[in-house]
Amino acid sequence: MAAPALNHIGLARDSYKGVASTLCAGCGHNSITNHVIKALYELGVEPHLLAKMSGIGCSSKTPAYFVERAHGFNGVHGRMPSLTTGAQLANRKLIMLGVSGDGDTASIGLGQFMHMIRRNVDCTYIVEDNGTYGLTKGQFSATADVGSVQKKGTVNAFLPIDPCAVALTLGCSFVARSFSGDGKQLVPLLKAALAHRGTAVLDVISPCVTFNDHDGSTKSYAYIKDHEEELQDVSFIPYFEEIEVDYEPGTTTDVRLHDGSHLRLHKLAQDHDPSDRLGAIRLLEEGRSRGQLVTGLVYLDETMEDFATREHLPERPLHSLGEAELRPSREEFDALMGSLA
Partner 1 sequence: MLPTVNDLTFQAATVNGSGSQSANMVLTRAIFSLGIPVAPKNVFPSNIEGLPTWYQLRVTTQGYQARKGDPDVLVALNPATWRQDLEQVRPGAAVIHQHLYSTADARTDVDYFPVPFTKLAKTEIQNDTLRKQLTNLIYVGVVAGLLEVPFEAIQEGIRRTFPTKPGAWQANEDAARIGFKYWHENFSAHERRHVLRPLTGLTDSQILLEGNQAAALGCIMGGCTVAAWYPITPSSSVCENLAAYADRYRLDKATGERRIAIVQAEDELAALGMAIGAGWAGARAMTSTSGPGISLMAEFSGLAYYAEIPVVIFDIQRIGPSTGLPTRTSQGDLAFIYTLSHGDTKHLVLLPGTVAECYEFAQTAFDLADRFQTPVFVLSDLDLGMNLWMSPQLQYPERPFDRGKVLTKDDLDRLEGEWGRYQDVDGDAVTYRTLPGTEHARAAYFTRGSGHDELARYTESPEAYAANMDRLARKLETARAAMPAPVVETADSAQIGVIAFGSTDAAVVEAREDLREQGLEFSYLRVRALPLSPSLVDFVAAHERIYVIEQNRDGQLYDLIRLELPSQLVGRLRSIRHYDGRPVTAESLSRPLLELEAVPV
Ligand X SMILES: Cc1ncc(C[n+]2csc(CCOP(=O)(O)OP(=O)(O)O)c2C)c(N)n1
Which residues, numbered 20-39, are part of the site for ligand SF4 (CB under 6 A)?
23-24, 27, 29
Candidates 91, 105, 173, 180: give the one binding partner 1 (CB under 8 A).
Answer: 91
Q: What does 192 interact with, of ligand SF4, Mg ion, partner 1, none (CB < 5 to 8 A by kind)?
A: none
The SS3 of residue 98 is: strand
* Residues near Mg ion (CB under 5 A): 101-103, 130
What's the Rg (C-alpha) of the chain? 21
Candidates 70, 194, 208, 263: give the one binding ligand SF4 (CB under 6 A).
Answer: 208
Instruction: Please report how close the Cβ of residue 171 comes to a second copy at its closest, in angstroms.
Output: 5
Give residue 260's region: left, alpha or beta (phi > 0; psi -120 to 50): left
Which residues, numbered 87-146, are part of the site for ligand SF4 (CB under 6 A)?
130, 134-135
Give backbone dihedrals phi and psi of 206, rounded to 5 degrees, phi first: -145, 90
Closest Cα to residue 287, out of 227, 222, 201? Answer: 227
Residues 6+ apart with CB under 8 A from 326: none
Q: What does 29 interact with, of partner 1, a second copy, ligand SF4, none (CB < 5 to 8 A by kind)?
A: ligand SF4
* Helix residue spans in the chain (DSSP H): 28-43, 58-61, 80-90, 102, 110-119, 163-169, 183-195, 221-227, 277-289, 307-310, 323-326, 330-340
Compose the 7-36 pattern: x for residues touching partner 1 by CB under 8 A, - for all others.
------------x--xxxx-----------
Number of residues that bind partner 1 (CB under 8 A): 80
Nearer to a second copy, 236 or 307 (CB): 307
Nearer to Mg ion, 15 or 143 (CB): 143
CB 125 within 8 A of CB 201: yes
Give the integer Cα–Cα distance in Å for 288 and 285: 5
Compose the 79-118 pattern: x for residues touching ligand X by CB under 6 A, - for all others.
----------------------xxxx--------------
Closest Cα to residue 85, out of 71, 96, 70? Answer: 96
171 is a contact residue toward partner 1 (CB under 8 A): no
Tell me which residues touch ligand SF4 (CB under 6 A): 23-24, 27, 29, 58, 130, 134-135, 208-211
